[in-house]
Structure 1
Amino acid sequence: MQYDVIIVGGSYAGMAAALQLARARRRIMVIDAGLRRNRFAEHSHGFLGRDGHAPGAIAEEAKGQLLAYPTVTWTEGKAGKAARTDNGFHIEMEAGESFDARRLILALGVEDLLPDLPGLKERWGKSVFHCPYCHGYELNEGKIGVLAVGSISMHQALMLPDWGSTTFFTNGTFSPDEEQLAQLAARGVAVESTVVAGITGHADVNLADGRTVSLAGLFTAPATRPASPLAGQLGCALEEGPIGPYIRVNDTKETSVSGVFACGDAARAAGSVSLAVGDGAFAGAAAHRSLMFA
């Protein structure tokens, strides 16, 4: 059987895309590897109507609503290969199954490549974060740190004072020039140039000289990359963003490959649950339109 659309990725963007197509009574398949980017966080914030809810609960409720539509098939597993065919596209699963569709939507998500620092990975999504809009408010204007990974960290350091007293740990990865130091001073940001040895406790930054700076939360900007190689296999063009590559799309969320659409974190320079859902809804409607007027 050939599906109208296969959506690779069953998180927020993928399900939002699928919902538009399901409501248009199109035969669709969602392929989900089960690795939501925010799976490490206990609560999701900033998503209208679900502020403060557990991310997993939001996703499960959405999945249940989606599967109520009879034209939706859900397949758990990882898509390993994608290729164009004479009639559309062919997907091969790592487990061996294969499926065909007239259109593809890539809602692949991204992998966060965290700084290699003892204690940081274990606290990711709990007391170490990347998005102040998602997690800053809950720190209750306490002391906040920004762990530098490069020049992109200047942006974070200048943002965070709106959420609390901020210290910028340059950690040997970035040296602000005089103009940047003036900008940081104007925002009230303290600059700490001593190398960070590790993170302990809730969010205690242990410095190489033996000092410890206790924080309500620590922010950093990990590099990202699409969580699947499918876009590259299909020949989709990528853009180089400030923290890593992402899939290039046009105003209708279509990639450089006709018939392949992309949405969510893998198709924008930075993202959130709200942006992923909006992206997905747009991509789903655009894929449907391309089928109507093929």
Structure 2
Amino acid sequence: MTPDQPSDALIIGGGPAGLAAAMALARACYSVVLFDSQEYRNDTAPMMHNVLCNDGREPWFFRSTAMKEMMDKYDSITFVDTQITAARQINHGQRNAFEVSNQKGATWRGQKLILASGTRDILPSIQGYKELWGRGIVHCLFCEGFEKKGGRFGFLDLNSRDDLSAVLMSFRLADDGVTIYTNGKGIPNDMEIQEVFKIAISRGAKIDDREIQSFSEIPDADGIQVHFQDGTQEDLKVLLHSPPSVNRAADLISSLNLETVASPEGHVISKGPVGETNIRGCFVAGDTSTEAKTVNVAMATGRCFSFVTSICKHHVPH
């Protein structure tokens, strides 16, 4: 699409949410431009799990298969591999519209804008963590726990009451107990977090206050080693950790003046079940819009039928 020929919808993000939104709109014969930065939160994960018909599928294969199927069937979708760096609301004739551009200055216009750009995890600087993220170190037992069952399970910190459910679930999967590593910080003074630790300990979890130096793979085995500053080490089948995350489209969200949740993650607040934001015609889907950051949720928010009908309903002069 050219600036003089705006598409019906611009989608920023080529993950499950963006792909699902593109398919739903294409099936209603809307013209769609989907922008894919080629950066994905689960890029380091060897497989995706807990997704019907795709349990154990490589994330890259899932994305490429979805794209190929749409390219073969729906001629109203245009895929553009680029990172969108600017977005703004404009007037296009009698309608409000949106304009986006990349670092090279290429510009696209569309009647509606869908942010499905996902989130980015802020990984700790512990040696070996980044290399094991998505494999030996994971953030979700539903995504990775079954494949890692057996042996000892570990947790790096407990930061909120939300972490407790994963600890309790881990006892069903761990044959050799559960350890919570505080990395030299001890149990926080926060009363709510102390209650979480208390419940975990009452169920049998072990607390380890040693300071962590690094992580590595267990040679010739499935699992990771935790290396401590005192020279000791411990083997785990898997380490659970929920690092903080930020919205990949934080700059776009700020420039559009979208309302966000008052938290470090800052996901965009949607005004109803169809994902419309405080800016009429701008929608959010997937990790950009929720704390429930899973493939299933992303696809559901992207392809919701009411989402399509909302696009139709608002596709009139303002």
**TM-score interval, normalised by the smaller of the two chains:** over 0.9
Counterparts of 1:214 and 1:92, CA distance in 2? 48
Corresponding residue number in structure 2 for 1:49: 53
1:27 aligns with 2:31: yes
Q: For residues 8-57 of structure 1, what are the alpha-carbon distances to aligned partners after superposition, in whole Å with 9 as ceiling and x for unaligned?
A: 11111001001010000011100110112111011100011110111111
Q: State how 1:1-294 maps to structure 2 within 5 Å.
A: 1-67=5-71, 68-87=73-92, 88-148=97-157, 150-151=159-160, 154-155=163-164, 156-164=166-174, 165-173=177-185, 175=187, 179-202=195-218, 203-228=224-249, 229-241=251-263, 244-250=265-271, 251-282=273-304, 284-292=307-315
Q: For residues 38-93 of structure 1, what are the alpha-carbon distances to aligned partners after superposition, in whole Å with 9 as ceiling and x for unaligned?
A: 11011100011110111111111101112230111111100010000013111011
Gaps of 5+ in 1: none
Q: Contact conserved, 1:148 with 1:174, CA < 8 A, in 2?
A: no
Q: For residues 162-215 of structure 1, what are the alpha-carbon distances to aligned partners after superposition, in whole Å with 9 as ceiling and x for unaligned?
A: 321311001144615664443012322111111111112241111222221101
User: Normalising to structure 2: TM-score of the pair?
Assistant: 0.86
In the TM superposition, residue 153 of structure 1 has moved relative to its aligned partner by 7.5
Q: For residues 108-131 of structure 1, what are the alpha-carbon distances to aligned partners after superposition, in whole Å with 9 as ceiling and x for unaligned?
A: 111110111111000111111111
In the TM superposition, residue 287 of structure 1 has moved relative to its aligned partner by 4.5
Counterparts of 1:8 and 1:286, CA distance in 2? 20
User: Normalising to structure 1: TM-score of the pair?
Assistant: 0.93
Q: Which moved more, 1:151-160 or 1:229-238?
A: 151-160
Gaps of 5+ in 2: 219-223
Paired residue secondary structure (1:102) = strand
Q: Identity across aligned pairs (percent)? A: 27
Q: For residues 194-239 of structure 1, what are the alpha-carbon distances to aligned partners after superposition, in whole Å with 9 as ceiling and x for unaligned?
A: 1111112241111222221101111111111111221111111111
In the TM superposition, residue 147 of structure 1 has moved relative to its aligned partner by 0.7
In the TM superposition, residue 157 of structure 1 has moved relative to its aligned partner by 3.3
Structure with the largest fraction of strand: 1
**Count of residues paired in the alignment:** 293
Paired residue secondary structure (2:234) = strand
RMSD between superposed Cα atoms in Å = 1.9
